[in-house]
Structure 1
Amino acid sequence: MLERWKEKEGAEVEIYEELRTLTSEVISRTAFGSSFEEGKQIFGMLHKMMALAETNMYTIRLPFIR
C-alpha cells in the first residue's frame, strides 16, 4: 500500500478505499490463507449483502416489537 502511495506522490489518494482493501487483505490472509484479489468476489458479495440488510432493516415489522 505504501509503495502504491509513493508512486502517486503529489496526487490524491483515496484513503477509504486503500484502508478497506488493506483490512480485507489482512482478514482474507488470516482467515482463508489467500490474498484479497483471490477473494475479491466474495468480499463484493458481502458488501452487497450488508447494504441490502441495511435497507431492509426497518421494513420487517414484528407485532411484539415497535
Structure 2
Amino acid sequence: MFKAYNCDDLISKWEGMYSSDGSSETDIWPFFKNLASDVISRTTFGSSYEEGRRIFQLLKEQNELTLQTLLKVNIPGWR
C-alpha cells in the first residue's frame, strides 16, 4: 500500500509542475532517486527516507572518502 502512496505523491508533484498548456520538461532522475531511497528505507528500516536522510548522507560521504582514498593508494603497475 505504501508504494502506491509514494507514487501518488510523486505524480501529484509532477502535475503541479505543468505549465498552463499542460506540458512540461522535467528531469525525473532526482524524483526517482528519492522514491527508490524511500522504498528502500521503508522496507529495510521501517521509516521514510526523510527520517533517515542523515544516514543516507553519511553513507554518501563515506563512499566519496573511500573513493578518494583508493585513488591515493599507489599500486605498482596500476599507473
With structure 2 as the length reference, what TM-score do the two structures score? Answer: 0.68
Count of aligned residue pairs for this structure pair = 65
Q: CA deviation at 1:36?
A: 0.6
Q: Which residue of 1 aligns with 2:16?
A: 7
- Structure 2 stretches of 5 or more lacking a match? 1-9
Q: CA deviation at 1:20?
A: 1.1
**Runs of at least 4 residues off by over 6 Å:** none
Correspondent of 1:33 among 46, 49, 61: 46
Q: Which residue of 2 aligns with 1:59?
A: 72
SS in 2 for 1:50: helix
Larger radius of gyration: 2
RMSD: 1.9
With structure 1 as the length reference, what TM-score do the two structures score? Answer: 0.78
- Structure 1 stretches of 5 or more lacking a match? none
